[in-house]
Amino acid sequence: MRISSFISAALLQVSIAWSSPVETNDLVTQGTSKRPNHPIKPHHPGKPFPISPARTKTCTVQSYGNGKDDPKSVLSAIKSCNNGGHVVFSKGKTYTIGTALELTFLKHIDLVFQNASTFFQLGGEDVNVYGGGTFDGNGQVWYNLYAKNNLVLRPILFGTIGLKSGRIEDLNLRYSPQWYNLVANSTNVVFSDISISGYNSSSNIAKNTDGWDTYRSDNIVIQNSHIDNGDDCVSFKPNSTNIVVQNLICNGSHGISVGSLGQYKGEVDIVETSTSRSNITYDGMVLANVDYAIEITQCYGQQNLTLCNERSSLATSPSRMSPKNFVGTTSKKYDPFVGYLVCSSPTVCSDINIQNVTVKSPSGTNQYACANINEIDSQVDCKKAV
């Protein structure tokens, strides 16, 4: 199912918490906003980010309380402060959304979550979200539903959809039903100082709880964040370009993934920087007890690897990929191997350069399972993959 149609369906099922003003009686005051100041460093995607002017008024959102549905009052506050203000979701209040909220009309507005919980789809132009609040997705309810029926469409906790310039900073994301963040059709967006955490509290485990998934988006930064989850820490979906991921702690996850390419027949997918079709760099990774330090495969998650490799093509092939400066240890799962480097043929994967990777397995080796990547055996200790 395509991502766009999935989002529309998932939002219809949202029933969770937020914040709100009462009808049109928003508390509107004059004043400028105080935003976090998290510089983009040490790396920058290369393109400049637009300047976001200071906001000149504040709309404080008031909750109906007692689990009552708050979308009407939320929209009232946002419309009052759209185009030049910021909306405050007050500390210590719980806000409930039982009706889907699509906030893709926003323009020149800051949303300040001091301590609120929410589900929503965010988009527009020049939108900043911050405040130290918590977004709690009540995930276990959804894990239980999914265990009974794997066709259940689980919502994404934070959807950044069609956002043209913005910063999402200083937030806590907890117990997402599925992905924590989807960044789709967006440009010039910075995510900084985000805390992500959430596991299962019953035998029905959390699944597909990626930290971030990017799709058809450009000039994105994800930095200075801590992620405790059970799936990808960050995953670049098709047509993700000029993206920097830096200074993350990823625990229990599948790490940083470039994947789900070539899903749609007749469409060409890319993940690239501005200067090349591929050109992907992993630099400065500190690893502890990971299954593989580096894994290159065109058949991730496939049961029939022989058939998959026969049908893999340039649509899913990595090129100009540079993992470098890795240190740490792997788990016992694939010991004595620390990595898996396999392509369907030597003509498919090209220009893979591994530099200064000193990761060790529990047995003290640093062997890789390798196949069909030219000159890879001169860079690492390769053993034939079986």
pLDDT, tens only, 51-108: 999 999 999 888 888 778 888 888 999 999 999 998 998 888 887 777 777 899 999 9
What mean pLDDT comes out for the span 154-172? 94
Is the alpha carbon torsion for 266, 270, 274, 277 positive or negative?
negative
Which of 12-26, 65-79, 146-160, 167-181 shows the lowest mean pLDDT across its residues? 12-26
Options 43, 86, 226, 254, the catalytic residue: 254
Q: Considering only 64-78, 124-138, 229-243, 368-382, which range has the smallest mean pLDDT?
A: 64-78
Mean pLDDT of 108-113: 90
Q: Are 56 and 85 in contact (CB under 8 A)?
A: yes
365 pLDDT tier (thresholds 50, 70, 90):
very high
What structural domains and CATH numbers belong to the chain?
Answer: 3-275 (2.160.20.10), 281-386 (no CATH)
In this prediction, residue 32 carries a pLDDT of: 59
Give backbone dihedrals phi and psi of 307, rounded to 5 degrees, phi first. Answer: -65, -40
Q: What is the 3-state secondary structure (H, E, C) of 246-281?
A: EEEEEECCCCEEECCCCCCCCCCCCEECCCCCCCEE
- CA pair distance 314, 270, nearest whole angstrom: 11
Query: In the predicted model, is pLDDT for residue 262 greater than 60?
Result: no
**Is the separation of the CB atoms in 128 and 113 below 8 Å?**
no
Residue 23 has pLDDT above 90, yes or no: no
Partners of 127 in the β-ladder: 109, 166
pLDDT-based confidence at residue 31 (cuts at 50, 70, 90):
low
Which is nearest to 165 in space by CA: 131, 127, 193? 127
Residue 268: C-alpha distances to residues 196, 298, 313, 351, 384 (Å): 32, 15, 11, 20, 31
List, in sequence order, the alpha helices (H) in 253-353: 305-311
Block residue for tokens 């979308």: 71
Task: State the average pLDDT for the chain.
Answer: 82
Q: Which of 315, 379, 380 is nearest to 348 (CA)?
A: 315
Range of weakest confidence among 31-45, 196-210, 305-319: 305-319
Containing 6, the helix (H) or strand (E) segment is helix 3-11
Q: Are 310 and 266 in contact (CB under 8 A)?
A: no
Question: For residue 314, what pLDDT is reported?
Answer: 45
Distance between start and end Cα atoms, the chain: 33
Tell me whether residue 254 is one of the annotated catalytic residues.
Answer: yes
Token representation of residue 296: 């290159």
Phi-psi region of 254 (alpha: psi -120 to 50; beta: other; left: phi over 0): alpha
pLDDT at 2 over 70: no
pLDDT-derived band of residue 261, with 50, 70 and 90 as boundaries? very low
- Each residue of 323-349: pLDDT tens digit? 999 999 999 999 999 999 988 777 778
Q: Which helix (H) or strand (E) holds 59?
A: strand 57-61
What does pTM read for this prediction? Answer: 0.83
Give, for 294, the enclosing helix (H) or strand (E): strand 294-296
Residues 6+ apart with CB under 8 A from 61: 19, 20, 21, 26, 73, 74, 77, 87, 88, 89, 90, 95
User: Residue 246 to residues 185, 212, 298: CA-CA distances in angstroms?
Assistant: 21, 13, 25
Nearest to 191 by CA among 87, 334, 36, 295: 36
